[in-house]
Amino acid sequence: DYYTAISELERLLDVEAFIVEKFDEYLERAQQEQKNLKRFLDHIEEQQNDRGDLEDYFGNPLNAFITIRRLVHDWKFNVFDPVFNSSNFETYKSTLGDSLEKINIKAPTQEDLNGATRALLRLQNVYQLNTDHLASGVLLPGEKNPLNISLSASDCFELGKNLCQIKEYSYGSEWLLEARKKLHGNPLGFISPNVSDVEILEHLSPAFNGLGNLKLAHKLNNEILDKKPDHEEAHRNKLLYEGQLAKERSFTPRKQVDLPHVAGKKEPKESYKLYTQVCRGELHQTPREQRNLRCWLTHQGVPYYRLAPFKIEQLNLDPYVAYVHEVLWDSEIDMIMEHGKGNMKRSMVGQSGNSTTTEIRTSQNTWLWYDANPWLAKIKQRLEDVTGLSTESAEPLQLVNYGIGGQYEPHFDFMEDDGQKVFGWKGNRLATALFYLNDVALGGATAFPFLRLAVPPVKGSLLIWYNLHSSTHKDFRTKHAGCPVLQGSKWICNEWFHVGAQEFRRPCGLVSDEGKFLHLENK
């Protein structure tokens, strides 16, 4: 997929640049060919004009020869061959075809376009973005549009149409209205395929019907008929709308219509609502709650770190969540990305065997095994030093890149079955260590909805938390998520420490925490 990782889109741009280059070459070649042709024709024309009296002209035997030769050779060489069996031009075309074929890239599909539509919808929903701001390329009000992107009428139309197809009539109609605005402001859309007012109305009218605004749907449907009196579907809809309107007039009071995004859709979980609020920054810890949080430098008893101590910033005490700043060198980040970039695959959710791709997690990832990548040894040692945990039972490093509006909805990192099935003696995921490999321009925080905590990515920093209580029972307060990326790309690296092999590093507590915070399990 192209919409689930920014790295994929980058590849697409590289390919596009290559295609532009190839066709530029082709065009240059074609233009050269045309120039030659034109030069020849002009030359002939000139000669014909200069010929004067024909008898005089052919009286000179040289002219006769020149004319005949011209007709035998020059026309063939300069015009007929290049145009009709233009061998070099054809060869050129076929080498162009070959080199395009060699790129062997899958073109983005309608599914990619739908994925990108859903991503924009998610961003609008989570960050409450205005359609008209977005349509003019502004992500957040007050923020200048740095890239000067602006969507065309066809872009807005495509979004609106796709949204209506998935019954998101509310945002869908807004995008279709934007398309109309743009169309009327600039009727001659260039380059992108044009869209007509009637096409927009064909989707806008049913969208308003879907929203329960029958009168407006009827009015817009009539506009279609004004423009295209023989529009069959509009005639059918006209009958339908008029029938419904007549029925409504006879039944008063009118029935309350449910908005489609409320009707027919599951009420989101409480943690999802909290997640969006935390991502927006509406929900956060109070200063009173934060007053016991500390920052400090520590060497964790490792002599080397007396010189270059770890920089700890506590973010939550119970359950424990903390940043460790400046733990990765830029060169290490580059190495990780270099090794992983070529192998990214769409991220899955669920346990191996029945895992699938879903909109819950829109990213791509790959795994970096320590055995296969000895250069990772230093990072592995650092992870042990900073956490005090053993990596004997740890998973390989997981490199993740989020795509357009990429997110990971609230989830637990631990397995339902205590990890026995997949991880055997290693047991469940005790702690998560998450490296941020870049800064994200807007959005992309790691959110803990029950802790009212949003942790923004900081390049080179590590985020650590315990998923299990000290008795190794699940701590349901650790539900967490990756907020949608609003602007920029987001690269992270996950390390999961397991329960096994920590007997002497983090001995279990003696009291069972089994029932603690059980009420959060399914929230």
Ligand X SMILES: O=C(O)CCC(=O)C(=O)O
Q: Which residues lie near ligand X (CB under 6 A)?
A: 400, 408, 413, 446, 480, 482, 492, 494
Q: CA torsion angle for 203, 204, 205, 209 (degrees, to 10)? A: 100
| Alpha carbon distances (Å) from 268 to 76, 116, 280, 410 | 74, 22, 17, 11
Out of ligand X, Fe ion, none, which partner does residue 482 contact, by CB within 5 to 8 A per kind?
Answer: ligand X
CB-wise, 175 or 402, nearer to ligand X?
A: 402
Q: How far is the CB of 429 from Fe ion (least distance, A)?
A: 9
Task: State the sign of the Cα–Cα–Cα–Cα dihedral 63, 66, 72, 78.
Answer: negative
Residue 179 touches which of ligand X, Fe ion, none (CB < 5 to 8 A by kind)? none
Q: Which is nearer to ligand X, 362 or 393 (CB)?
A: 362
Identify whether the C-beta of residue 316 lies closer than 8 Å to the C-beta of residue 306: no
Number of H helices, E strands in the chain: 19, 15
CB atoms within 10 A of CB 510: 7
What residue 438 binds from Fe ion, ligand X, none (CB within 5 to 8 A, per partner kind)? none
Q: Which is nearer to Fe ion, 413 or 475 (CB)?
A: 413
Q: What is the rounded distance in angstroms from the CA atom of residue 35 to the CA atom of residue 347?
A: 53
Q: Decide which of Fe ion, ligand X, none touches 322; Cβ closer than 5 to 8 Å per partner kind.
A: none
Q: How far is the CB of 482 from ligand X (least distance, A)?
A: 3
Structural contact between residues 298 and 425, judged by C-beta atoms closer than 8 angstroms: no
Q: Considering the complex, what minimum distance in angstroms separates the CB of residue 2 from Fe ion?
A: 24
Residue nearest to Fe ion (CB): 413
Q: Tell me: does residue 409 bind Fe ion (CB under 5 A).
A: no
Distance of closest approach, residue 459 Cβ to Fe ion, in angstroms? 20
DSSP codes joined into one string, 156-183: HHHHHHHHHHTT-HHHHHHHHHHHHHHH
Could you say which of 332, 384, 409, 413 contacts Fe ion (CB under 5 A)?
A: 413
CB of 393 to ligand X, least distance (A): 18
Q: Residue 356 is which amino acid?
A: T
Select 271 or 494, whichever has its Cβ closest to ligand X.
494
Q: Which does 492 bind (CB under 5 to 8 A by kind): ligand X, Fe ion, none?
A: ligand X
Shortest Å distance, C-beta 395 to ligand X: 11
- Residues in 458-487 that interact with Fe ion by CB under 5 A: none
Q: Which is nearer to Fe ion, 168 or 413 (CB)?
A: 413
Which stretch in 241-249, 387-395, 405-413, 511-519 sits in contact with Fe ion by CB under 5 A?
Answer: 405-413
Judge contact between 2 and 404, C-beta under 8 A: no
Residues 47-71, buried b or exposed e (16+ Cβ, 10 A)?
eeeeeeeeeeeeeeeeeeeeeeebe
| E strands, 376-489, in order | 397-402, 408-411, 429-436, 442-443, 446-448, 453-455, 462-466, 480-482, 485-487
Nearer to ligand X among residue 168 and residue 413 (C-beta) = 413
Greatest Cα pair distance in the chain: 121
By CB under 5 A, how many residues form the interface with Fe ion? 1
The SS3 call for residue 37 is helix
Q: Which of ligand X, Fe ion, none does 446 bind, CB closer than 5 to 8 A by kind?
A: ligand X
Return the one option of ligand X, Fe ion, none that residue 494 interacts with (CB less than 5 to 8 A, by type).
ligand X
d(Cα 273, Cα 276) in Å, to the nearest integer? 5
For the CB of residue 481, give the shortest distance to Fe ion in the complex, in Å. 8
Q: Could you tell me the two tokens for 83? A: 């145009």
Interacting residues with Fe ion (CB under 5 A)? 413
